């Protein structure tokens, strides 16, 4: 029995020794596997990080390509706009050159028109004389101003001609004076178009008509046209309704 117990103890001791030895032999491979697993995990993380960075760079690259494409489209459009503007500038320059050339040709014509208007006023019937002379003088000043364009000068000259033309189609009454024996006598004028201009003194004692042929005022007998001239003045001043009036007119040349 004692021998059996001793053997059993010996076998148990050997078994325990063998187990410890086997455990010691397995530790290094296990540690190596753990290290390998850790290394693999770190490698996988680096791969994932690289993949994420690659995806981000790819997305950024694609966005950059779209921006470049948009810029290229914008640049092409802008180039077309610039080309169109350059064409417009060239066209405007040609027009400016043309205007300057026309201006050089038109300026002498405008000066002649002003001179002709001045002569016309000087030889026309004597009504609104100072106003009409001032209008011609303002045109002469206008031609000397550097801040007024040629079209505006031409428009103003045509406007003056239009005013003179309108005088021939209107009836007008205005105050003024006539020279009589070296004295300025206040009178009321009646102008009927350009066919006649008459006057009456303020006291109603004298009436007259302009004699264009003799370039002088010709007195009228008060009883001949006094009432008609008075009525014409009231019509011109809109103090009476329009009506037919009798006025003295110059006889045609050669008539008795």
* Average of per-residue pLDDT values in the chain: 82
**pLDDT band at 255; cut points 50, 70, 90:** very low
Phi, psi values for residue 209, rounded to 5°: -140, 150
What count of other Cβ atoms lies within 10 Å of the Cβ of residue 110? 19
Q: What local confidence, expressed as pLDDT, does residue 102 receive?
A: 67
Instruction: State pTM to two decimals.
Output: 0.57
Mean pLDDT for 92-96 is 77
Q: What local confidence, expressed as pLDDT, does residue 13 receive?
A: 55
Please answer whether residues 243 and 231 qualify as being in contact, where contact means their C-beta atoms are separated by less than 8 angstroms. yes
Q: What local confidence, expressed as pLDDT, does residue 252 receive?
A: 58
What count of other Cβ atoms lies within 10 Å of the Cβ of residue 136? 19
Q: What local confidence, expressed as pLDDT, does residue 57 receive?
A: 86
Residue 1 has pLDDT above 60, yes or no: no
């Amino acid at each position: 029995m004692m021998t059996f117990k001793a053997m059993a103890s010996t076998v148990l001791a050997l078994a325990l020794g063998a187990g410890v030895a086997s455990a010691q032999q397995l530790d290094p491979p296990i540690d190596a596997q753990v290290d390998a697993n850790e290394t693999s995990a770190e490698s996988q993380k680096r791969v994932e990080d690289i993949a994420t960075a690659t995806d981000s760079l790819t997305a950024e690259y694609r966005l950059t390509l779209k921006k470049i494409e948009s810029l290229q489209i914008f640049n092409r459009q802008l180039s077309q706009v610039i080309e169109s503007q350059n064409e417009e500038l060239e066209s405007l320059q040609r027009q400016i050159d043309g205007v300057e050339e026309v201006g050089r040709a038109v300026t002498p014509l405008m000066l002649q028109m002003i001179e002709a208007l001045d002569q016309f006023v000087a030889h026309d019937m004597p009504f609104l004389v100072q106003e009409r002379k001032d209008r011609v003088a303002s045109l002469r000043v206008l031609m000397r101003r550097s801040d007024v364009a040629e079209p505006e000068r031409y428009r103003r000259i045509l406007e003056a001609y239009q005013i003179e033309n309108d005088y021939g189609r209107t009836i007008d009454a205005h105050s003024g004076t006539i020279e009589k024996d070296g004295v300025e006598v206040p009178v009321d004028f009646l102008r009927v178009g350009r066919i006649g201009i008459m006057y009456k003194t303020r006291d109603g004692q004298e009436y007259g008509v302009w004699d264009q042929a003799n370039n002088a005022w010709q007195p009228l007998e008060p009883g001949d046209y006094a009432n008609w001239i008075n009525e014409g003045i009231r019509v011109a001043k809109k103090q009476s309704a329009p009506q037919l009036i009798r006025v003295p007119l110059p006889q045609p040349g050669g008539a008795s």
